[in-house]
C-alpha cells in the first residue's frame, strides 16, 4: 500500500504577492502575480492560474486546466479532465484527458462542475452549474447542462 503524506505545496511556480492558505495540495502548477488560494484546495501539475485570480476553499483544479486573469473560482468548484470516453476512468492513460481553458474575468459559482471546455472572457457561471460545452459568448450561464440566461 502506498500512502501519500501531506504533499501540501511542492514544485510550484509563483508570481509575486501570492497568498496560499493552508492546508492545501498544490504541486507542479503555476500561479500568477497576486493569486489567492483558499484552504483545502488541490491544484495539480500543469494547471495554470492567471494573475489576480482568487480560488476559494475546497476547489479542485486538475491537470490541463488554464484559468485566465482576474477570475473568481468559488467554493467547491470541480474541474474535470477525463470524460470517461471509454465508459470508465482513463486510469493513467493521459492521452484520453482533455484540456480546459477559462478566459479572463470569469466568475464560477459555488459547486459548479467544469468539464473539458473553453469558457470565453467576461462570463459568469452560476452556482451548481455543469458546463458541458464550450462557452463562446459572454453572459451568465446556469443549470445542468449550463445554458445562457437571456
Q: Return the CATH number of the domain spanning residue range 9-148.
A: 2.160.10.10
Domain boundaries, the chain: 9-148
Secondary structure of the chain in HEC code, one letter for each residue = CCCCCCCCEECCEECCCCEECCCCEEECCEECCCCEECCCCEECCCCEECCCCEECCCCEECCCEEECCCCEECCCCEECCCCCCCCCCCCCCHHHCCCEEECCCCEECCCCEECCCEECCCEEECCCCEECCCECCCEEEECCCCEECC
pLDDT band with cut points at 50, 70 and 90 for residue 5: low
Q: pLDDT tens for residues 60-85?
A: 999 999 999 999 999 999 999 988 77
**Percent of the chain residues past pLDDT 70, beyond the cut:** 95
**Per-residue pLDDT at 4 exceeds 70:** no
**Per-residue pLDDT at 149 exceeds 50:** yes
Amino acid at each position: 500500500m502506498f500512502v501519500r503524506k501531506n504533499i501540501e505545496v511542492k514544485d510550484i511556480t509563483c508570481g509575486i504577492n501570492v497568498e496560499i492558505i493552508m492546508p492545501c495540495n498544490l504541486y507542479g502548477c503555476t500561479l500568477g502575480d497576486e493569486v489567492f488560494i483558499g484552504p483545502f484546495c488541490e491544484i495539480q501539475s500543469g494547471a495554470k492560474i492567471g494573475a489576480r485570480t482568487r480560488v476559494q476553499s475546497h476547489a479542485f483544479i486538475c491537470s490541463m486546466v488554464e484559468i485566465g486573469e482576474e477570475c473568481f473560482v468559488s467554493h467547491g468548484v470541480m474541474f474535470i479532465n477525463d470524460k470517461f470516453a471509454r465508459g470508465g476512468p482513463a486510469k493513467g492513460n493521459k492521452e484520453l484527458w482533455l484540456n480546459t481553458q477559462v478566459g479572463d474575468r470569469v466568475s464560477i459559482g459555488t459547486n459548479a462542475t467544469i468539464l473539458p471546455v473553453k469558457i470565453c472572457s467576461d462570463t459568469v457561471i452560476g452556482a451548481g452549474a455543469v458546463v458541458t460545452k464550450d462557452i463562446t459568448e459572454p453572459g451568465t450561464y446556469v443549470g445542468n447542462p449550463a445554458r445562457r440566461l437571456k
